[in-house]
């Protein structure tokens, strides 16, 4: 998010009793993510702590290190302002956030994890559809950053669109998103229908179909979209713009348009 190029990653795997096959599968997944991100898996730590973890349970953490020239750090606060354009890059599902609510919905609907997911057009199981690996955006967004036309990147993780976008905006600037400009996808339509907690809560909990949002000047929109699409993001598109924050406004991020008509979400 600061425009850095990934260099290396270290992991931490803790469990009550080390199961070699399980640990190997986890580390293999980490290695795939590092390869996709173009960084080294330079080491890690494994800890056995009987009594701390139940049978079959493990705790996983990690951190990455990257490098960027100080003059190229993002966000470029001084350059961001009303009139700038928001470009969205699609997610491929829930990613890694909102699973307390997801599990509650699955439980309330009486779904088994291994049965076909009612929201999956590919016929995946509930577990496979909800646990689709989080998309990584290095391959597309880093080339866009290297054009020097990107003013900020917002990764839409915990807190959804309503809490992540404001983190890259200076004071006095608001973001307006057009719901007709992107499709959240069937999993979010299903969650919105079954959770019945309103559009605001959906936008505050999930990425709702956008895994990454870029801030660019309007004259750079076409060039940055071209770079994103050339690097594996055909669905990248303009999703909104920045405006002055209205006096007394409580929300920095607002969604315009008819959500029910555009996304098929229930009217709540």
pTM of structure? 0.93
Residue 196 banded pLDDT, cuts 50, 70, 90: confident
Residue 56 banded pLDDT, cuts 50, 70, 90: confident
| Residue closest to 252 by CA, chosen among 141, 184, 185, 159 | 159
Q: What is the pLDDT of residue 83?
A: 97
Query: What is the domain partition of the chain in residue ranges?
Result: 5-72, 77-263
d(CA 133, CA 135): 6
Domain 5-72, CATH homologous superfamily name and number = PurM-like, N-terminal domain (3.30.1330.10)
For residues 50-74, average pLDDT: 94
Q: What is the pLDDT of residue 121?
A: 85
pLDDT, tens digit (0-9, with 9 covering 90-100), for 220-260: 999 999 999 999 999 999 999 999 999 988 899 999 999 98
Q: Mean pLDDT over all residues of the chain?
A: 94
Q: Residues of the chain with pLDDT > 70: what percent?
A: 99
In the predicted structure, residue 2 carries a pLDDT above the cut 60: yes
Q: What is the pLDDT of residue 268?
A: 57
Structure tokens at 50: 């009987």
Residue 122 banded pLDDT, cuts 50, 70, 90: confident
pLDDT, tens digit (0-9, with 9 covering 90-100), for 85-113: 999 999 999 999 999 999 999 999 999 99
C-alpha dist (Å) from residue 31 to 3, 20, 38: 22, 16, 10
Q: What is the pLDDT of residue 21?
A: 93
d(CA 155, CA 80): 17
Domain 77-263, CATH homologous superfamily name and number = PurM-like C-terminal domain (3.90.650.10)
d(CA 125, CA 156): 25
Residue 187 banded pLDDT, cuts 50, 70, 90: very high
Q: What is the pLDDT of residue 250?
A: 85
| Residue closest to 90 by CA, chosen among 216, 235, 222, 231 | 235
């Amino acid at each position: 998010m600061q425009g850095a190029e990934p260099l290396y990653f270290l992991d931490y795997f803790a469990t009550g009793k080390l199961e070699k096959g399980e640990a190997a599968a986890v580390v293999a997944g980490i290695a795939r993510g590092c390869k996709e991100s173009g960084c080294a898996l330079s080491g890690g730590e494994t800890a056995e702590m009987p009594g701390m973890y139940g049978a079959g349970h493990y705790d996983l953490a990690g951190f990455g290190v990257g490098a960027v020239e100080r003059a190229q750090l993002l966000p470029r606060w001084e350059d961001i302002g009303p009139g700038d354009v928001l470009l969205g890059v699609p997610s491929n599902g829930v990613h890694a956030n909102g699973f307390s609510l997801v599990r509650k919905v699955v439980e309330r609907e009486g779904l088994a994890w291994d049965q076909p997911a009612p929201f999956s057009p590919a016929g995946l199981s509930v577990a496979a559809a909800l646990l689709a690996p989080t998309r990584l955006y290095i391959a597309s967004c880093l080339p866009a950053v290297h054009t020097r036309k990107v003013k900020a990147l917002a990764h839409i993780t915990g807190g959804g669109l309503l809490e992540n976008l404001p983190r890259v905006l200076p004071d006095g600037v608001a973001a307006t998103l057009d719901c007709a400009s992107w499709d959240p996808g069937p999993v979010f339509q299903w969650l919105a229908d079954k959770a019945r907690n309103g559009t605001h809560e959906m936008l505050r909990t999930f990425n709702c179909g956008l895994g990454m949002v870029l801030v660019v000047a309007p004259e750079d929109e076409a060039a940055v979209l071209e770079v994103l699409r050339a690097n594996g993001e055909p669905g990248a598109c303009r999703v909104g713009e920045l405006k002055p924050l209205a006096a007394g406004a409580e929300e920095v991020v607002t969604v315009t348009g008819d959500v029910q008509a555009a996304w098929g979400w229930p009217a709540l």
